[in-house]
Amino acid sequence: MRDRLLTALGVVAAGGGLALAFPRMHWDGIAWLAVAPWLVVALMNSPRAAFFWCWLGGTAFFLGLLQWLNFTFMTFSAIPFPLTWLPTLALSAYCGLWIALVAAAVAWIGGRSAGGALALAPFAWVAAEWGRGHLFGGFPWGLIGYTQYARLPAIQVAELGGVYAVSFLIIAVNAAVAGVVLLPWRRALAGAALAGILLGLSLGFGEWRLRETAPTDTVRVGVMQPSIEQPLKYDPNHAATTLGIYLALSRRAADDRPELLVWPETATPTPLARDAGLVALLRSLAASLKAPLVVGSIDVEGGSPLVLRNTAFLLTERGVEGRYDKMHLVPFGEYVPLSGVIGFVRGWAEFISELEPGTRTVVFPGPPAPFGVVICYEGIFPELVRDFAKNGARLIVNITNDAWFGRTSGPLQHLAMYPFRAVEHRTAVVRSANTGVSAFVGPTGRIERRLPLYERDVMTSPVPLRTGTTLYTRFGDWIAYLGLAVSALVLGERALRTVTAR
């Protein structure tokens, strides 16, 4: 009983520690050690026990990481406290299953070779992260590589293999630490040396890339953060005030002569395409600025039933020049999965909508240069942003509305993913967020400028344009595919040996 209690405390403490490696705390060094206890527990137990213990630890990790969701349910849903924790717990338990599967695989291979199991761990981990980011619509939040977003030398390898390359590196170090605990000293030393070489090469590559000359082809972009509380965004009584805030910020930006001005997601208080007066106002604004506008709005089409889309419009003095409809919608936010069965949940919360997804990526040709717009949640999907880069975008614009998450760690965790989108394609990312965090991210992943949460302001800055194509742009998530292949081969070989031994 005492051993079980100690194991439970250990896996939960490791999960809690790993959550602290992400914003808001951002004790990022913990990530290089926090997974090692799970690997040790996996190798000291049967696959079934390893699955259970690391599911517990993984659930604890995601509960700590995703606690900001509880604010959303408490503030904008009809679910009474403390039942507001149930959706967060359910999502955390689901995400924890992927960690449990890695632990079970390590335990199963460890029955024959502990060293082989630890060598498998980085491959199995990135395969699981990729799976979590794709199955059932995908939820790639909290990939362990994101803990290093501010460690620029460590994240430059993302141009080779995306965020999964950084995750692979972190788990390789954790596996080496677990090996020091469990393996004979010679084998432990060999594993530590291999992980050290891998880490050294990655950091050396990062330092070299950071010394590269920055692109000289730039455009001036303005982003605004209006800081409008969520309950007021669509309040008809506040519509004039909302537009007044945007217009005042736009005129302030005009002093810096932006070549592109970005408003955040769902900025307009009325559907833009159905409001001729608003379109005329924005045409006049674009003419006075001598710059196009990117404006987020809910778009409405049809009669009965209405078709709603989350859209980014490009406007110039000639009017609407282009549009991009959000393709990857937020489950239980912008649509209800299996709505024929569980559609009743729409009545639980005001943030649950039923939007229609877009069907294709759109690269706006400019002016001032070809750019793509990813809307809110879409930016956390590496392969979606890659589509814009492959189609010629020289700049990535992210518009978002994180007002649903208040002053929690959610908006900070969201921002931490965009340095990776920048490094993956060596493209700048400009971000306009309703309540924050708005930012300019350089091609090296450095967050050059940002606005604090709930600060109303506008920023204008010269932004470098993408000039080349990275390995990641060409080949995408190849490290994740390698992880899937290696895991399948190793586990398949183990299964074959088990069958033939009977």
Given the DSSP bridges, would you call strands 218-225 and 260-262 parallel, antiparallel or unpaired?
parallel
Count helices and strands in the chain by DSSP H and E runs:
19, 12
For the whole model, what pTM was predicted? Answer: 0.96
pLDDT at 302: 78
Please measure the distance between the N-terminal and C-terminal CA atoms of the chain and give it in whole angstroms: 34
Q: What are phi and psi of 235, to 5 degrees?
A: -75, 115
Per-residue pLDDT at 214: 73
Catalytic residue flag (residue 317): no
Query: Strand order in 363-364's β-sheet?
Result: 363-364, 371-375, 396-400, 429-433, 439-441, 447-450
Residues in the chain, pLDDT under 70: 338-351, 502
Q: Two tokens at 226?
A: 């209006």
Instruction: Give the pair of three-digit tokens for residue 298.
Output: 């809910």
- Given 159, 326, 334, 356, the catalytic residue: 326
Cα–Cα distance, 340 to 328 (Å, whole number): 20
54 is catalytic: no
DSSP 189-220: HHHHHHHHHHHHHHHHHHHHHHTSPPP--EEE
Residue that has been written with the tokens 């590589």 in this structure: 145
Judge if the upstream peptide bond of residue 437 is cis by omega within 30 degrees of 0. Answer: yes
Residue 197 · residue 57 · CB < 8 Å: no
Catalytic: which of 129, 376, 378, 424? Answer: 376
Max Cα–Cα distance, the chain, nearest Å: 80
Q: How far is CA 320 from CA 266, 302, 313, in A?
A: 16, 19, 7
95 carries an active-site annotation: no
Measured distance CA(421)–CA(6) in Å, rounded: 40
pLDDT value of position 342: 56
Is there a cis peptide before residue 271, judged by omega within 30 degrees of 0? no
- Measured CA to CA, the distance from residue 222 to residue 295 in angstroms comes to 12
Could you give the dihedral angle defined by the CA atoms of residues 271, 273, 275 and 278, in that order, rounded to the nearest 10 degrees? 100
- Nearest CA among 371, 376, 361 for reference residue 415: 376
DSSP string across 461-481: EEEEPP-S--HHHHH-SHHHH
Quote the pLDDT of residue 331.
85
Separation CA 55–CA 89 (nearest Å): 12
* Per-residue pLDDT, 143: 98
Contact 432, 399 (CB under 8 A): yes
Preceding amide of 474 cis, omega within 30: no
Write down the catalytic residue from 259, 265, 356, 378.
Answer: 265
CB 479 within 8 A of CB 164: yes
The pLDDT tens digits of the residues spanning 236-270 come to 899 999 999 999 999 999 999 999 999 999 999 99
171 burial (CB, 10 Å; 0-12 / 13-18 / 19+) is: buried
